[in-house]
Every structure is written in C-alpha cells, then in structure tokens.
Structure 1
Amino acid sequence: MRAALCQITSTPDPSANLELVRSGVRSAAAAGASVVLFPEATMACFGVPLGGLAEPVDGPWAGTVRDIAEEHDVLVVAGMFTPAPDGRVFNTLLVTGRGQHLGYDKIHLFDAFGFAESRTVAPGSTPVTVPFGDTVLGVATCYDVRFPELFGTLADRGATVILLAASWGAGEGKLAQWELLVRARALDSTCWVLACGQADPHTPDPKAPTGIGYSTVATPTGEVHAQLAADPGMLVVDVDPGLVESTRQSIPVLANRRLR
C-alpha cells in the first residue's frame, strides 16, 4: 500500500482548505498513492469559532472531498468538524473514497496544557476501522495518541495500519513527545502508524493548538521509517503489511496481554 501524508497549514476558510486538499490529492495520486492522509482540522484551523463551520459528513464540504477522492480513485482521510446534539461540535476524521464515506469522532479531547477542547467539542465514543483491500485501517486523532488502549483496540479489530491526524500544539518538549508517542503506539500495537500533522505556521496561536510539522511514519517495531520537517510538504511511503505479521510473531505483545 502506498500512502501519502500531506502536511499542510489550514486556514480559517473551509473553501480555501478544499483547494489544499485538491492540490494534495492530485500530487499524491500522481506519485502512485492509494491512501492520502491530511491533518486534524483540515476543514478549518483551530482558534476560530467552529460551530458555524460544522457540517455533517453528508454535507457539501465532505461531499467535495469525496468527489476529489473519487476523481483520483484514492481513499482520503482528513479532519473536519460536524455538529453535535448538545450544540458543540465533533472533531471528526472524514474517511472517503474507494467505496467508503464515514467519520470517526475523536474520543479523547485535548483538555491539557491549558487548552480545553471539551468546551466546544463533544467526545466521540466509538473506535473506527475501515477495510481497504487486504488491509484493515484504523483511525485516530491527535490527543488519542496518548492513550495506548485505543490503539490496542484498533489492532484487536484487525488494524495493521493506523492513520493518525493531528494539529499538535507547540511548546517545550512537544516535538520529542510527538515522536516518542507515535513510535510507542506503533510498537505496542505492532501496527504501522502514519501520523500526519499540521505544518508549523511559524506564527502560533497561543490560545489554540496549531501545528509543529514533523509528520512521521513508524514501523510496527517502533522505528521511524520516514519523517518530514516543520514546513508544509508531502511524504510518500510504501507500507509493507508483511512486516506486521512477522513483528507479531516475534513480539506477540497483543497475544500476551493479561490486562485490558
């Protein structure tokens, strides 16, 4: 499976961000990718009112992303915001193309480092896996990466590749934590983890997480397979599902668990 990680800097304008998606998918498809991963908050960056921007996954923004995916015959995964029943929004990861069109609502909300995502965002409750040819993909969003039980659950449900979208907040030690957590989740789920973050805007919003870049692909043994730097860019990788099988034979941590 060839995948592309499109490290972008979202704007507050969903229409402008659709053009970033369109351009990224076009380049990824030209490079032979069948899966194209964008960051959390691709629809609109954090730091702006989200309630007025939120649309359901059958709405026009997600529908346009689906059209882009179908035009290039790829699976696109991108962060958006959908309405929640209590007046907040869900932080939703859209999965569309290749016969799929669904959303994953972020389970673990970023109430940390002085930011309270739960003030405007409602938590999801259901892990999501998606069949893709002979592979099962799991999906996760940003702060989810700090919770190994979610990644173990995705692996239990058949995932061998986990797509992680993020808008990682900057700060002291945050880059080291990002890489450490991505590698750790790959190792303890014995999955490939493809982690795509927002690029560093170089003018961070102190009130909202924006991005630091450094999109990272980690192997099932926790090694960094490929990585971008801080600025916008695209990372294209070939994912070998056979490495998952061989890793799970030699490091059977999923089979050896006693506490769940």
Structure 2
Amino acid sequence: MTDALTVTLVQWGSSLDPAANRARLAQGAAAGGDLVVFPEAFARDFGEPGSDLGPYAEAQDGPFATEVAEVAAANDTTVLAGMFETSSDPGRPFNTLVMRGVAEAAYRKIHLYDSFGYRESDRLVGGPVEPVVVDLHGWRLGLMTCYDLRFPELSRALVAAGAEALVVPSAWVAGPRKVEHWRTLVRARAIENTVYVVAVGQPPPRYCGHSLVVDPLGDVLVEGGTAEEVLDATLTRDVLDEARRTNPSLVNRRL
C-alpha cells in the first residue's frame, strides 16, 4: 500500500478516426504517474447525434484495448480510457472503460445519457448494475462514466464496496449551466462520500473540459480550462484519513 497515488488527467478530444486516437495514447501515457486517465469515448468520438456506433465497437482484447495495455506496460503505469465495446446487440455497443497496466479492470456505463435532448440508449446498451472497484497500489478506485455522476446512489454503492477515490472519464456535453453542473456534482460526490474524485473530460467546442481533481473535503486540487491539456495531482492517504475523521458521515449514515 502506498501513502500517495499520482494521477494524470489527459484532457484531450477524440476524433472520428480510431487509428489516430490510438496513436495518441502513447504520448499521454508517457506523461503519467501511477494512473493516467483519458476521457470517455477516447477510442472514437460519438459523432453526430443519433449516428450508428455499432461499426466502431471492439472487443476488450481488440485494437484499442491492446494499445492501452501496450502503452501502459511501456511506461510502467496504469491507463484508463473509454471505448465502445461489442455487445450481444450488434447495433448497440456498451460504453466501456478499459483499465490496463499494473491494474486491470473494465466498467460498462450503467446510466445512459437520455437527457438534455439526447438519447444515448438508442445507440448504446447499459452495463450491469453493479459497482466496479479496482485496487491500484493499495488504493481502491471506483469507476464511473460521465452521466453516472448525476446519480449519487452509484457513488455511494462504490464507496460501500470500498472505494477511496472515484475516477470519472467523461465527454460532458457543453451547454447552458453545464460547466456549473459538472463542477458542482464532482465536488458533491467527493464531499458526501469523503473520497477523492478524479474527473476527466473532453474539451470544447462540443464538450466542457474543466477536468478536475477534488479531495475528500471538497477542495479542488487541480482544474483544467477549455483547451487540450494534461494535468497532474497527488492523492494522499493522510488527507483521506483526516477527512473521514473530521466528517464521519459514512459512519453516521442511517440508510
């Protein structure tokens, strides 16, 4: 178990060219610490609203996940990135996070973005309703994707399963109030659960950017802007332990 975990947030946009996106993984991983986090749908952008994502779905051992594993191994790190994964419905893939490297895991997005005029469930299928928590250097990381952030019951389920940090790759669609919602929800999930939240988004113009890391007392450790950039932060166990002593809400819960 380590007392500190270094995280790198790669706030880059994905294109409609899967090969070009794979090629960028190595550069992002080379900049990283213990965990390098790319946004949701980094393997290939969603494209125009309503467009078919089935042709861009891959297996968890396909070209994208294989490249994630290779760049993680080359840099002795762990990489987390979003892709579209084949499902039993050829026309509706999973929206999946793949983690490869020192730790390995996969999370299929539970809450599909049927909101603000979008219908993600027309193009994608939701994953199983169960928390995914993975151990990395003694830190317990709970995985979420974008719209999941609006559902506090998932973050609480992850914390009940032992999560000490929530990692949230996203493609948070831009629009009125959306940056305010993003920042508020990231901080709320950190404060109410006394966990770190590592939230990585794609940048404008289509998405909001503002990737950030928030500590268990709600302090923003680092926050990006609206350009492509790479951010670094360190999660420390003494801050986590102190937050849970100061605000023992997990101990005091009644439901």
TM-score between the two structures when normalised by the length of structure 2: 0.94
Structure 2 match to 1:208: none
Tell me the distance in 2 between the aligned counterparts of 1:34 and 1:220.
Answer: 19
1:176 corresponds, among 180, 184, 193, to 180
Is 1:216 aligned to residue 212 of structure 2?
yes
Tell me the distance in 1 between the aligned counterparts of 2:153 and 2:177.
Answer: 23
1:250 corresponds, among 241, 246, 249, to 246
Residue 102 of structure 1 deviates from its aligned partner by: 2.8
2:25·2:67 contact (CA, 8 Å) conserved in 1? no
Is 1:225 aligned to residue 221 of structure 2?
yes
Residue 232 of structure 1 deviates from its aligned partner by: 0.3
Structure 1 match to 2:89: 86
Structure 2 match to 1:59: 62
Tell me the distance in 2 between the aligned counterparts of 1:217 and 1:95.
Answer: 19
Residue 159 of structure 1 deviates from its aligned partner by: 1.1
Tell me the distance in 1 between the aligned counterparts of 2:85 and 2:160.
Answer: 28
Paired amino acid for 1:23: Q
After superposition, the CA RMSD in angstroms is 1.1
Structure 2 match to 1:42: 42
1:66·1:101 contact (CA, 8 Å) conserved in 2? no
Structure 2 match to 1:101: 104
2:132·2:158 contact (CA, 8 Å) conserved in 1? yes
1:137 corresponds, among 119, 135, 141, to 141
Tell me the distance in 1 between the aligned counterparts of 2:27 and 2:182.
Answer: 27
DSSP 3-state at the match of 2:56:
coil
Paired amino acid for 2:146: C
DSSP 3-state at the match of 1:122:
coil
1:8·1:20 contact (CA, 8 Å) conserved in 2? no
1:160·1:241 contact (CA, 8 Å) conserved in 2? no
Tell me the distance in 2 between the aligned counterparts of 1:79 and 1:122.
Answer: 15
Is 1:113 aligned to residue 109 of structure 2?
no
Is 1:159 aligned to residue 168 of structure 2?
no
Is 1:69 aligned to residue 72 of structure 2?
yes
Residue 49 of structure 1 deviates from its aligned partner by: 2.9
1:145·1:182 contact (CA, 8 Å) conserved in 2? yes
Paired amino acid for 1:34: D
Residue 27 of structure 1 deviates from its aligned partner by: 2.1
2:16 corresponds, among 12, 16, 32, to 12
Deviation per CA, 1:123-156, whole angstroms, max 9, x where unpaired? 1122211111121111110000011111111111
TM-score between the two structures when normalised by the length of structure 1: 0.92
1:152·1:254 contact (CA, 8 Å) conserved in 2? no
1:36·1:77 contact (CA, 8 Å) conserved in 2? yes
Paired amino acid for 2:217: T
Structure 2, gaps ≥5 residues long: none
Residue 9 of structure 1 deviates from its aligned partner by: 0.8
Tell me the distance in 1 between the aligned counterparts of 2:87 and 2:238.
Answer: 39
Matched pairs, number = 246
Tell me the distance in 2 between the aligned counterparts of 1:25 and 1:227.
Answer: 19
Tell me the distance in 2 between the aligned counterparts of 1:176 and 1:58.
Answer: 37
Percent of residue pairs identical = 39
4+ residue runs over 2 A deviation: none
